[in-house]
A and B are shown apart, each in its own frame.
Chain A
């Protein structure tokens, strides 16, 4: 493992690297098989735009924490996940995750990433709310999020043009109490050696 931050049974999460930027990361966000049910990306991705994202967001945006998802067995970069729209005062954030490498897109790794992020959000960062969203036609995302305990909190009806028709933007949320009730306190994951104090940005309070 290289620079692990959160360690699961099959994957670990770490800070993205330049090697990730010039690897397959940008390809996942051009792949229609991956994007089909997601918030539609209108433009193809490339290494240069990925490097822009790396420099502007990964390295400099304190309202986001971006992680590379790495397979423990092969140390292969298989996906990306992040906490976004972090409000350090009101203690909430969004999250999203994509396992981009096809052979790992079986649910095992997806769920483990979700569990690692939820534990980070609710247990280590002591956030109150975790939000996410998906396009209504993305049944896969909806099923995973409902399984994790998320509840629908609203919709923007017919917001997105997707594959020839309009689709709702679905908003979901999970509270710290709901997480603790279903998942918290059972099956702890090992931490990657980064204590809570260093997990927060240098300025706390927005």
Chain B
């Protein structure tokens, strides 16, 4: 079964999360937010943004960063950018 674009992107974003939070066993879903990961504070939030920019070779604007409230929002932004 081929993987949808969102599922593919989720796996890539999960790699970013595992790297930033230094947890190879970390598992995320589109609904994952700071409420689900205790270590997710403002420092880690910046680290996530910077890591996403580096991994996907994008430069995010303020409105796109506002979409990073949960993983689903991140995927929306990343797929929206790639679709553009």
| Inter-chain contacts of B63 with A (CB < 8 A) | 9, 186-189
| Inter-chain contacts of B65 with A (CB < 8 A) | 111, 115
CA distance A107 to B50 in the complex (A): 13
**Interface bracket on A:** 20 to 34
B43 within 8 A of A: yes
| Inter-chain contacts of B67 with A (CB < 8 A) | 9
Q: Shortest Cβ distance from B16 into chain A, in angstroms? A: 15
A4 within 8 A of B: no
Determine which of A106, A108, A119, A187 lies in contact with B64 in the assembled complex, contact meaning CB atoms within 8 Å. Answer: A187
B3 within 8 A of A: no
Interface size on B, residues (CB 8 A): 21
Determine which of A103, A111, A115, A143 lies in contact with B35 in the assembled complex, contact meaning CB atoms within 8 Å. Answer: A103
Q: Shortest Cβ distance from A123 into chain B, in angstroms? A: 11
A199 within 8 A of B: no
Chain B residue at minimal CB-CB distance from A8? B66
Chain A residue at minimal CB-CB distance from B40? A106
Contact A112 B43 (CB under 8 A): no
Determine which of B35, B45, B62, B64 lies in contact with A107 in the assembled complex, contact meaning CB atoms within 8 Å. Answer: B45
A49 within 8 A of B: no
Contact B34 A108 (CB under 8 A): yes
Contact B45 A115 (CB under 8 A): no
Contact A147 B66 (CB under 8 A): no
Query: B residues within 8 Å of A by Cβ?
Result: 33-35, 40-46, 49-50, 61-69
Known: A9-B69, A103-B35. 4 other contacts (CB 8 A): A108-B45, A111-B46, A147-B50, A188-B63
Q: Shortest 6 CB-CB distances between A and B: which pairs? A: A107-B45, A187-B63, A106-B34, A186-B61, A107-B42, A9-B66
In the assembled complex, 10 residue pairs joining A and B whose CB atoms fall closer than 8 Å, in A order, are: A106-B40, A107-B42, A107-B45, A108-B69, A112-B66, A144-B42, A147-B46, A147-B50, A186-B63, A189-B62
